[in-house]
Structure formats: structure tokens, C-alpha cells
């Protein structure tokens, strides 16, 4: 699971070294998301920008015909 993280951080080290330390702090080993609540202001700002420019801040979930989770996915999209 950490192979993807390691690869991503290696790319950051190479191309964006000024960001690498920040990402290592936000995503320590074994974590799939930020461990602190400092992501919330950025998420709220992103939502504001999406509303300002008339774009969705959500990605549609793929609906596969006959999938037993179709209703669940549609409900989640509506939320």
C-alpha cells in the first residue's frame, strides 16, 4: 500500500522539492488521508471556487448496469 505513496513522494522530491516535506507531514506511513483537520479550510475554499465557476466539486461515480450498489451510488451522489 505504501508503494504508491513512496513513488508519489519520490516524484515530489524530484519535481517539487519544496512540497515534499509538507506532504510527508500530511500523509505519514500507512495513512490514506490527512491526519489533522487542517485540510478543511482548503476543502471549503475549493468548494467556494467550484460554485463561483459553476463546476461540480464532486466526481460522478460509475454506474454499472445491474450492479447491486447502483441505488447506493445514486444516493451518495445526491448528497
Distance CA 33, CA 26 (A): 8
Tell me the per-residue pLDDT of 7-59, one tens digit each, with 9 for 90 and over: 889 999 999 999 999 888 877 776 666 666 677 888 899 999 999 999 988 87
Task: Tally the domains of the chain.
Answer: 1
Which residues have C-beta within 8 Å of that of residue 9, sequence separation ≥ 6? 20, 23, 24
Distance CA 20, CA 68 (A): 41
The confidence score (pLDDT) of residue 32 equals: 66
pTM above 0.95, yes or no: no
The sign of the dihedral angle between the CA atoms of 35, 36, 42, 44 is positive
pLDDT at 1 over 60: no
What is the grid cell recorded at 43?
476543502
Domain that holds residue 30: 2-78
What is the grid cell recorded at 7?
513513488
The confidence score (pLDDT) of residue 36 equals: 67
Amino acid at each position: 500500500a505504501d508503494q504508491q505513496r513512496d513513488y508519489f513522494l519520490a516524484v515530489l522530491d524530484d519535481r517539487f522539492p519544496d512540497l515534499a516535506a509538507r506532504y510527508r507531514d500530511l500523509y505519514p506511513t500507512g495513512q490514506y488521508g490527512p491526519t489533522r483537520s487542517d485540510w478543511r479550510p482548503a476543502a471549503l475554499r475549493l468548494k467556494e471556487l467550484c460554485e463561483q465557476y459553476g463546476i461540480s466539486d464532486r466526481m460522478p461515480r460509475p454506474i454499472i448496469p445491474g450492479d447491486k450498489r447502483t441505488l447506493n451510488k445514486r444516493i451518495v451522489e445526491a448528497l
